[in-house]
Amino acid sequence: MRTLLRRPRRALFALIGSAALALGGAVALPGTAQAANILSNPGFESGLSPWSCTGNLGSVVSSPVHGGSKALAGAASSSDDAQCSQTVSVQPNTTYSLSGWVRGSYVFLGVDGGASTWTTSPSAYSQLSVSFTTGASQTSATIYVHGWYAQGTYYADDISLDGPGGGGGGSDTQAPTAPTGLTSTGKTSSSVSLQWNASTDNVGVTAYDIYRGSSQVLSVSGTSATVSGLSPSTGYTFTVKARDAAGNTSAASNSVSVTTDAGSGGGTGFKQAAPYLYEGWGDPPNPGTVMSATGIKWFTMAFVLDSGGCTPAWDGSRPLTGGADQTAINQIRAAGGDIVPSFGGWSGSKLGANCSSASALAGALQKVIDAYSLKAIDMDIENSDEFENEAVQAKILTALKTVKANNPGLRTIVTFGTSTTGPTYYGNRLIEQAQSLGTNVDVFTIMPFDFGGGSDMYGNTVNAAEGLKAKLKSTFGWDDETAYAHMGISGMNGLSDQQENTTPAIWTQIRDWANSHHIARLAYWAVNRDRPCAGGGVVSNCSGIDQSNWQFTSITAGFTG
């Protein structure tokens, strides 16, 4: 019997093996001129601006932070160290002191063309400090922080550059000219590529800020950018502003309006009420009976695992076709419904962990897609073998990208645990990797239960969902509406493993919240337990509370998004 326990566990971020690094030595010089911090937005409390990050790999996160409520996250990849930089006005022949708090494997802090320092502190913030002296005619300096190739996401916060600001001939109040010739050079269902002519400035342009409507969504150093995380068949208007080292900002460029392609991805238009049904556990009910009694149309079928050699099978043991699971699927489809298979879960031998590569995993997923002509798949990413393993996370996301490209119209869902305030470290990492890899996940579904305490299941669920929304917005540059349209909630009916009690009244509140915010997906674990047994405890075939048969499924069927 599969345990009900499905909560993710926290673990320290393992130190990745060191790489051979060619580093310039840090230079410590005496006589630093003390002054206020001359960096703008040093703690990232107001977003990224005026910091500019290579590859659009920088984002602002709410956890983990060193001070305040925000920090920088740089999603270093195998081809980009996710350098984020800011250029400031300085005085010639002057010594400056640079410091900052960083977290991650091989994180560097320094100044372009000068001194730098680095640390390997993956699981906690540590302070880096270095000094440098400007040249005889130097009036600007570019401060940077970056990770190292293929070492995963780093974090930085509270960066300080102490010394006198530009003055005595170094001050600048002249804004750059507005960029011209803004045009769209390409589009997909979820992205728009832009290009423009360079601006001019008396001391030089350091960044271009891209706006979608009135919201800044990107900051780049060149004259082209791709805005991702957009919804299909949707009109957007973009402008660009230039910025110099002193923070002067130009007027806006000409505007360009683009409607994204219809495509098959995106987040809007996909609404799914699909409680979990498990044929290998908990006295599985006849799905046709449940559908007739409740009006539910979709079920999430659990779980597809590895039967050995990266070969998919129901629960790792029941045949992919021709067994009890196919019988249930046939019944569901005969009654006008459909299914989304869930790959993974808390325990068992999982394809994501055991397939040797992303291409091998994509091949295993394709076998299931082909067997049932699927419209959607769910990757339930849990435990230390998948959720808390960043390499496996990347393998799963890359495989999802492959099968989505090979199966037009296929919807992809990832499901993972959460805290009461939103995604944990590994949940944030999963979202960041999805953005970095261009996976174009349709729905990020959180499991708001087994929080480790707390009786307010409605409040905790809403707070967790709002935390997910904030993370999606900061990572993809989405507005509220788009973020909600990429979100799902998968709860647990009745008593959870930690005796949290989600009653029918509370689940109705959660359903109504989900409808009012137009999220994409509502599910719960599991239909097998959607039967009364007041005082029965946490068991596989009933909820442990007083309810009517299939009451949670009936409530879920009222989800319309």
Active site residues: 382
Give the Cα separation of 506 and 511 in Å (integer). 9
Using alpha carbons, select from 3, 504, 503 the residue that is nearest to residue 282: 3
Q: What is the pLDDT of residue 263?
A: 52
- Compute the average pLDDT of residues 331-350: 95
pLDDT band at 3 (very low <50, low <70, confident <90, very high): very low
Mind spelling out the 3-state secondary structure of 252-271? CCCCEEEECCCCCCCCCCCC
Phi-psi region of 334 (alpha: psi -120 to 50; beta: other; left: phi over 0): alpha
In the predicted model, is pLDDT for residue 2 greater than 70? Answer: no
Asked if 395 contacts 357 with a C-beta cutoff of 8 angstroms, the reply is yes
Percentage of the chain beyond pLDDT 90 is 58
Q: What is the pLDDT of residue 213?
A: 86
In the predicted model, is pLDDT for residue 31 greater than 50? Answer: no
pLDDT band at 268 (very low <50, low <70, confident <90, very high): very low
Asked if 218 contacts 196 with a C-beta cutoff of 8 angstroms, the reply is no
In the predicted model, is pLDDT for residue 122 greater than 50? Answer: yes
pLDDT digits (tens, 9 = 90+) for 446-489: 999 998 666 799 999 999 999 999 999 888 878 888 899 999 99
Q: Give the Cβ contact number of residue 477 at 10 Å.
A: 23
Q: What is the pLDDT of residue 453?
A: 60
Using alpha carbons, select from 178, 120, 181, 113 the residue that is nearest to residue 144: 113
Asked if 444 contacts 476 with a C-beta cutoff of 8 angstroms, the reply is no
Asked if 553 contacts 296 with a C-beta cutoff of 8 angstroms, the reply is yes
Q: What is the pLDDT of residue 454?
A: 64
Q: Is 327 helix (H, G, I), strand (E, B) or coil?
A: helix
Give the Cα separation of 327 and 89 in Å (integer). 70
In the predicted model, is pLDDT for residue 291 greater than 70? Answer: yes
In the predicted model, is pLDDT for residue 161 greater than 80? Answer: yes
pLDDT digits (tens, 9 = 90+) for 57-67: 889 988 898 88
Phi-psi region of 322 (alpha: psi -120 to 50; beta: other; left: phi over 0): left
- Compute the average pLDDT of residues 525-554: 94
Give the Cα separation of 526 and 541 in Å (integer). 9
Q: What is the pLDDT of residue 329?
A: 97
pLDDT band at 34 (very low <50, low <70, confident <90, very high): very low
Mean confidence (pLDDT) of the chain: 86
- Compute the average pLDDT of residues 100-120: 88
